Structure 1
Amino acid sequence: MTSSVVPVSTESPADAAVRPFTEEAWDRIAGWRDAVEHMPFIVALADGSLPAGSFAFYLAQDAAYLREYSRIMARAAQAAPDPAAQGFLARSSVTALEVETVLHRDWLGAHAGLAAGDVAAVEPSPVTAAYTGHLHAAASGSYAETVAALLPCFWLYAHVGSVLVDLAGRRPGGLAGHPYAAWIGTYGDEAFQESTRQARRLADDAARWVSPDERGRMLRAFEISSVHEYLFFEQGLTAPTWPTPPVRA
């Protein structure tokens, strides 16, 4: 990546007011979506050439991330304006914490020798901590800003899942024998796609009742989360660690 500066949208306020929030937000991150689709981590994950150690680092960090993501969704559920939104966010919080982390623990236990307790004790990397810090900051604002910040984890993962299923399907034998078939299948399946559609509806519903300034904060939160998604995938190959003080001679 050459720059972490988020581009400023050229959308006029009049156009933005009549467009669904998710349509504007998705267009706004077109460059980041393209970058994610073609980044070395995703390409190697799709063709099965990604080293197991790189995937293990990514998956362990994803487990650490999901612990915080689950907490923030629970906070959003408390602020939800209606029972349907509250129920979806509460269920998604439980799914992130219990269902998805089982997949992480199983793979890491079988392929990286990490026991469940080891996975739970993984320290968030600087990249992971930055992403969850952004989400916690968004959650200190309005409900609308919170759901906008949470949405890329659903939407970009669903999008990447579709990309991975398509790319992996071009391999001889498709996903059969693919070393990461279980993970690709989870995020590429229809149940996750439907959850993503529900998350998008929540964001669109929330955006209908906000001021232009608040909508701008929603867009910014969505865009920054999308940049963090890119960096999160990237760390699978870079494996960033916390720095230590230099030793004085």
Structure 2
Amino acid sequence: MNIIICIKQVPDTADVKINPETNTLVREGVQSIINPFDMYAIEEGLRLKEQFNGKATVVTMGPPQAESALREAISMGIDEAVLICDRAFAGADTLATSYTLAAAIKKLGDFSIILCGKQASDGDTAQVGPGISTHLDIPQVTYVKRIESIKNGVAVVERMTEEGYDIVETPLPCLLTVVKEINEPRTPSLKGKMRAKSAKIQLLSAQMLDCEAARLGLKGSPTQVVKIFSPERRKGGEVYQGPVEESVEKIAAVIKSLIP
């Protein structure tokens, strides 16, 4: 069984800063960590590797310094690591990011399961995992809290919901996004740390991927951030009475007036 785990290096939550001119995250000089939710994906990938005697590969897209996140994953027991790095990927939104990751996964070859954290702590969109599955045209299950079984080419998982959980069957290959309830990430061993220092990281550039240049980075990102601001708390309010349709129209008009 080949398991692929997609991770992201994010700013430490206590150090998140926004560039007021570009409305993008300031990453230079800011301590970075593996996205906390991705740590659970790494651990689950390692458990599947051990259970099925498989291979676990971790993949990330980011600048050269993202290599440190890959080495941390290797220290936990990951077999191989891939860094997707190129200036052409800069400014990518979730659509362009998922497209690029999917192209890299295709290049890596056969796989049984792709694991992702449910969302990234810096964006909180939860869109990249589902986006990857869409580009690869494979089934997905989000918010997975437990993998019950994998046999005969079918995975049975528990999917967390607001009311409890669903039991879902999905054929392989598939993509799963996991929640923190699924496991407890292990601590890297000394042997693992030593191996991570000398491990070879596979580098993939834009030219090495079979993809359309127009769909990469900023060019391939339809999402535009116009302004970032902290919500203001206002006292008081207004109650709309009358037919629901009229009230909805009034509320929608108020919301539109607040958008910069």
TM-score band w.r.t. shorter chain: under 0.3
Q: Which has the higher strand share?
A: 2
**Higher RCO, 1 or 2 (CA under 8 Å, sep at least 6)?**
1
Computing the radius of gyration from Cα coordinates, the structure with the larger value is: 2
The TM-score normalised by the length of structure 2 is: 0.24
